[in-house]
A = this chain, B = another copy of it.
């Protein structure tokens, strides 16, 4: 027995360093200095330039005493500056807080105050929003200290916006970079557990919580994402997914690891997506199911079909209806279905495709494809548990339990929220709040968020299953089903529906009856929605339908009366 000899070899400067995605950028600049890193309209950067610009940012921040223990908020759509901020800010030791641009001023004021932002970088289009948020913050908080205000210009926007920002004392982004050293000698964090990013939950639930991620996790997620998606060196990635949404599921860093090319988009439309595919030979993009819906329902003149090459799509954010998955495949997109939360660095489970499924009929294939699947390579634990006993549910495809995760792709915790942390990390697992079953093959499938389940006559009804059925109705573009109070049953399903363009919506009564009839042929009687409401659906910035608002609306409508049946 060699005893501890075999383990007695200490860390040193040659054989140990912190894991951080910042290394990827340095490497990309070394390996592919002249390859395009970021493209935004007529602006093209190379990896050498991006690396220099990020070091300039880090240097300029450092000169302003922004370092470890500080946060920098960025309020911007998917423009190059937001990409650069994901490297420049942590290179200075600080934490990036990319802010959801579709939030209102008072919510942003809350976030800035909660994170005590030391710097606010804001895209010129969103300057008035930031200005208002800062005003609210300053009025509400006694300890308010004005952050450094930086405005990001864009030649595609009205120059007046930038002028206005200058008049309010904001520093121009490019000027700010110029004040920094392009050869700035950044250092990796002392401890890879150091925070790299702060992102507030997008508000499908009540009050936003600040999800804190660390360098180690960001590094591992970046590699995991590439491996799970089969995304190789030199990938061309289109930014349809907001970068502010868990750092674009960490693909912001993956692209540097793969020395790929980032195509920015200020606004996501079906036309813009197809054009980018043709122009830049896009190989990969991510999309919430609602974005898939937009692509599937694009007008023929907006599309470029058949696709000139295979395009890989990673979809996550909500269970995509099988019908949408099938339609994407028909158009030649190779869809990878993943699932996760801000708390798990973005998607951390994947419906790993099995070659033996290729020969199944399309409907069966889509059904299998709609499952949330198995754990990511760098997530070490995934289970569906009975919420009371914490015991795994049987793998029978029927018994519903809560999805729990653990391992290196689970967040550091919620910022300044010990109660939420205690609940989230109870019993050694991260609690997702999502309800699922486990199939005999070990793949999990979401049935609902725990708060989205409808309890009718003591029976649990999955709103997702009703929605999936409704998505195959020929007139329905989008649908969301929530609980409405019910005199007799306690709750009953209420469907909020957006019709496809061109559908005659003059007779809502008739349409509602038709939809209810359709449901009767597809599901048990007690699942059939008793109310059908037409109109646009409220959504979060990432395209998630805000069920809590619909639930509130259904509540306002008052209980379904038994006589109505």
Contacts and interface: CB of A to CB of B under 8 A. Distances in A.
Pick the 10 closest A-B CB pairs, nearest first: A13-B428, A9-B413, A15-B410, A2-B116, A9-B412, A230-B232, A14-B425, A14-B406, A14-B430, A31-B374
A195 interface: yes
A115 interface: yes
A156 interface: no
A377 B257 contact: yes
Interface residues on A, range: 35 or more
Nearest to A418: B9
A524 interface: no
Nearest to A426: B14
Interface in A16-32: 16-17, 19, 23-24, 27, 30-32
B377 A416 contact: no
Interface of A is mostly: loop
Contacts of A212: 6, 9
Contact of A19 (B27, B118, B408): B408
Nearest to A412: B9
Contacts of A425: 12-15
A355 interface: yes
Interface of A: 1-7, 9-17, 19, 23-24, 27, 30-33, 68-71, 95, 115-116, 118, 145, 188, 193-195, 198, 212, 220, 223, 226-228, 230, 232-234, 257-259, 352, 354-355, 374-375, 377, 380-381, 405-408, 410-413, 415-416, 421, 424-425, 428-430, 442
Contacts of A3: 69
B27 A374 contact: yes
B69 A198 contact: no
Contacts of A412: 9, 15
A406 B15 contact: yes
B193 A11 contact: yes
A377 B223 contact: yes
B410 A71 contact: no
Contact of A233 (B30, B230, B233): B230
A390 to B, nearest CB: 12
Q: How many copies, total?
A: 2
Contact of A5 (B33, B380, B416): B416
A70 B14 contact: no
Contacts of A223: 223, 227, 377
A27 B407 CA distance: 13
11 contacts: A2-B71, A2-B415, A9-B415, A12-B428, A15-B408, A16-B407, A17-B407, A24-B377, A27-B375, A30-B442, A227-B257
Nearest to A222: B377
Find the residue from A9, A16, A226 having the highest chain B CB count within 10 A: A9
Nearest to A232: B230
